[in-house]
Chain A
Amino acid sequence: MKNHTILIVEDEPALVGALKSKLQRAGFNVLTASQGEEGLTMAKSHHPDLLLVDLLMPRMDGMTMIKKLREDSWGKSAQIMILTNFSDTEKAHEAKQFGVEQYLVKTDWKIEDVVTKIKEALA
């Protein structure tokens, strides 16, 4: 089984730690970026199988990053999942515009279920 690479773009280190730990446990390769600019560069260079993107980040926020990624030749077909605490229908619609189907509110989801969701998405 080929190991999938997940890129976590999240500015809260504690949450990054939790996700990374859980995902590694599930057998994924995990890359992290703490804000949009970094995430963009890493995505373009590493071509992860899935991106977990937080929306509210300093300097470049998640949505802008996604938009920019979609302009990239590889980026436009990358699999992206939004994982945020910002529950806003507008944002969810905007995300759909950029081809992001999954919009998860962190507090609504057990961490285990997040992992399951990722597995489903990559299957």
Chain B
Amino acid sequence: MNYENYVEKIVIEATPQDRRKAWRRATGLFVVLGVAALLQALTYRVKWIAPFQLSSLLSWQTTMYAAVISTMALTRYYSRRESIFLFIGITFFGVMFIVGYESFVISDFVVLRLPASTAQLAVSSWTASSSLLAILLLVSLWYLLRSRKNAPFSLKPAYLYMLTAGLAATIVVLTLVIRPPIPFYGQSLFGRPHELVLASLFLLLVLGYLYRGKWRSSSFDYWLTLSMVALFASHALFMAFSRELNDLEYVYALSGRLIAFMLVLVGLLVSSYKLFKQSQSRQRQYAALNVSLEREQTKSKRTLEVIQSKDWELGKNLEELNITKRAMLNVLEDFEAEKRKLTTEKAKDEAIITSIGEGLVVTDVERRVTFINRAGELMVGRTLAELRGKVWPEVLPAVTENGKPLTKTESPLYRAIQTVSTVSGGRGLYYSRPDGTKFPVGQTASSIVVNKKPIGGIVVFKDITVETEVDRAKTEFVSLASHQLRTPLSTVSWYAEMLLSGDAGKLGRDQRQYVQEVYQANRRMVELVNALLNVSRLELGTFAVEPITLDLVEQVKTVTGELAHQIEGKKQKLVERYDPDLPKIKADPNLVRIIFQNLVSNAVKYTPDKGTITVAISTAKKGHDFGGKILAKDSYIIEVKDTGFGIPRKQQHLIFTKLFRADNVKEKDTDGTGLGLYIIKSIVDQVGGTIHFVSRENKGTSFFVSIPLAGMPRRVGTKRLSAAREHA
């Protein structure tokens, strides 16, 4: 460390307080030096020889001090490990012995018994003790200065002890061996010039400690420095000028040494006290710290408790979560299992739907395609991708034979969704393929219902080319067969007529009768052929319904007109009850005529002479009781009542079957075909009406027919049913 740094250190580190203390202490050092100098200057000329007792006393006191210092210092070192006190302790321990020896040697007791030459011993011991002191203190200073720079190197007390012992022994031997040629120069100014050597050592010590600078902050260092100054003064200012043993200077020197040792002691005491004070305050600090620590501890303990309880709660929550998680995993597993099941079932269903041979189209409630199966795709020659989202009847309309498409309201799909029911497409409908070809299609439309509301529609269709062909063949066969049957029948009929009208000559009574029988039988056959033709057409579903607006009353009057002759002949009474406001009906005239013909002619046929036939036509609302049955919709109602033979109860359930004639009428009248009611029932069922009857044997029968107010729906067909004989 150079000088500048040193000054800097002092200047920078020092607070004003410190600076004041430093000045005070510096002043103290100078004061001691000054006082010593002053003392010497003032008493320079005084000649006085002290008794040995005084010197001895001073030396003994010095020894005591050395002992106390050594003890205190070593105690301090062993309790606080401050190395300087080790040095002080050991040094003064060694010094104690030498000064003790010195005080022994210069005591009256010893001196007076020893030869004069041994007076040297006193001087030697002074030198020895000072030398030891100086050297050891220099060693300590060196050590302290060294340890400031780097990490302090460990000091083994043992080595110091050995050094001290060695040094002490050496010094003692030397001083005993080496005697100054003249103990002191009585006349010259410097009585003991070798003292200056020692003085310079002490000066070196002083400077060294000043350099170290700790005298400003450490009390002990300061007092030590003070004692160095005192020792320096003792050697340089007093003993150096001593010419004889026990002269004033000698006594001053001894006193100075004593004062120096006292200063060290004071330093020890002060620093110990300071230490004690420090430790007290520190203890107080610690106590305060302890209290706050305890407070912190309690706080943290409480926090810990809170955390613990939270932790426990968390643990609980975690447990619950785990349980929930496990439950959810279970549910998930179940779901997965269900899903797998559903997927397999769905796959099965899809396989089924895909595999069915008929076309299946699924639409939404707006009739837009959502699905079509494979068979459907193949049949119509379009894929699901092309059809999806398009309105089915628009992209693939059903057309009639002549290419006329069904209207929206006629479309079975539309009707199925609107009425939430199943609707069959009827015959004579075709679908067209993208290449323009057509194929006859049989389709059934139904609506998909969820919570009683339609959410979509399904159309199942199939290519009925084969069936159509078969039907066509059947129909043609039937037509042809009936034609072939009719040809001979018409021959017989006309010739019989011509005979009866006398074209071949007037007939005798018997002749006329016979021809009449032939003619009647022939007529029956014609009727049978007609009826069979109708039945086949009804069964094949090839008959057409072509409604026009007509007046029911008109139609029935035509029929009653035709039968007027018969009614008159049997002297029967015809009662007609027609609703005057009867609205016109949309119906096929042919079918209406067939219905009326059958009902009224049956009534006439199966009622004996003088019976009554009643025909009533009106309209009724839904819910009306019509002949014992509740009407399902607003309808036209027709009642044909007779007072005839009735139908036996046991056979009533057979009345609408083909070729059935009740036993009670078969005997009475061989004329019927047994097909009439079957035909009417088929017609009425087809047009959405109802027919039923009430009958009591021998009392009469009432037939009740209802036709919906909306009329007969148009039906595409190839044939018309045959009504009975027409008139010019």
Residue positions of A touching B, CB distance < 8 A: 12, 14-15, 18-19, 21-22, 25, 56, 84-90, 105-113, 116-117, 120
Contact = CB atoms under 8 A, between A and B. Distances in A.
14 contacts: A15-B491, A15-B494, A18-B495, A22-B494, A22-B503, A25-B503, A85-B486, A88-B718, A90-B719, A107-B526, A110-B494, A112-B497, A113-B727, A120-B728
A22 B498 contact: yes
B130 to A, nearest CB: 163
Interface in B674-728: 717-720, 722, 725-728
A105 B518 CA distance: 21
Contacts of A19: 494
Contacts of A116: 728
B479 interface: yes
A89 B720 contact: yes
Majority secondary structure of chain A interface residues (helix, strand, loop or mixed): helix
A87 B726 contact: no
B486 A113 contact: no
Majority secondary structure of chain B interface residues (helix, strand, loop or mixed): helix
Contact of B489 (A22, A107, A111): A107
Given A18-B495, A107-B530, A110-B497, 11 more contacts: A12-B487, A22-B498, A85-B486, A86-B483, A89-B544, A89-B720, A106-B494, A107-B489, A110-B493, A111-B497, A113-B728
The 7 closest A-B CB pairs, nearest first, are A85-B486, A106-B490, A113-B728, A111-B494, A18-B494, A89-B720, A14-B491
Contacts of B720: 87, 89
B483 A85 contact: yes
B594 to A, nearest CB: 13
Nearest to B496: A111
Interface in B475-512: 479, 482-483, 486-487, 489-491, 493-495, 497-498, 501, 503
B128 interface: no
Given A86-B479, A89-B719, A109 B495 contact: no
Given A116-B728, A120-B728, A107 B486 contact: yes
Contact of B490 (A85, A88, A90): A85
B529 interface: yes
Nearest to B546: A89
Nearest to B525: A107
B718 A15 contact: no
Interface string B293-337: 000000000000000000000000000000000000000000000
B242 to A, nearest CB: 174
Contact of A18 (B479, B491, B719, B725): B491
Contact of A21 (B487, B493, B498): B498
Contacts of B486: 85, 105-107
A94 to B, nearest CB: 12
A93 to B, nearest CB: 10
B640 interface: no
Contacts of B489: 107
B226 interface: no
B263 interface: no
B718 A87 contact: no
A117 B544 contact: no
A112 B501 contact: yes
B254 interface: no
A89 B718 contact: yes
Contact of B728 (A14, A25, A89, A117): A117
B224 interface: no
B533 interface: yes
Given A85-B483, A107-B530, A120-B728, A15 B497 contact: no
Contacts of B503: 21-22, 25
Given A107-B526, A107-B529, A113-B727, A88 B719 contact: yes
A20 to B, nearest CB: 11
Given A22-B503, A89-B720, A109 B491 contact: no
A9 to B, nearest CB: 15
Contacts of A109: 725-726, 728
B483 A56 contact: yes
Nearest to A92: B720
Given A22-B498, A107-B486, A107-B530, A87 B722 contact: yes
Contacts of B490: 15, 85, 106-107
B559 to A, nearest CB: 15
Contacts of B501: 112
A110 to B, nearest CB: 6
A89 B725 CA distance: 16
A14 B479 contact: no
A114 to B, nearest CB: 8
A82 to B, nearest CB: 13
B506 to A, nearest CB: 15
B716 to A, nearest CB: 11
Contacts of A112: 497, 501
B719 A108 contact: no
Contacts of B494: 15, 18-19, 22, 106, 110-111
Interface in B33-83: none
Contact of A87 (B479, B487, B544): B479
Contact of B493 (A56, A87, A89, A107): A107
A18 B488 CA distance: 12
A14 B482 contact: no
Nearest to A89: B720
A21 B493 CA distance: 15
Contacts of B526: 107
B491 A111 contact: no
Contact of B498 (A18, A84, A86, A88): A18
A112 B495 CA distance: 11
A17 to B, nearest CB: 9
B498 A111 contact: yes
B647 to A, nearest CB: 30
A96 to B, nearest CB: 14
B719 A105 contact: no
B543 to A, nearest CB: 9
A110 B482 CA distance: 18
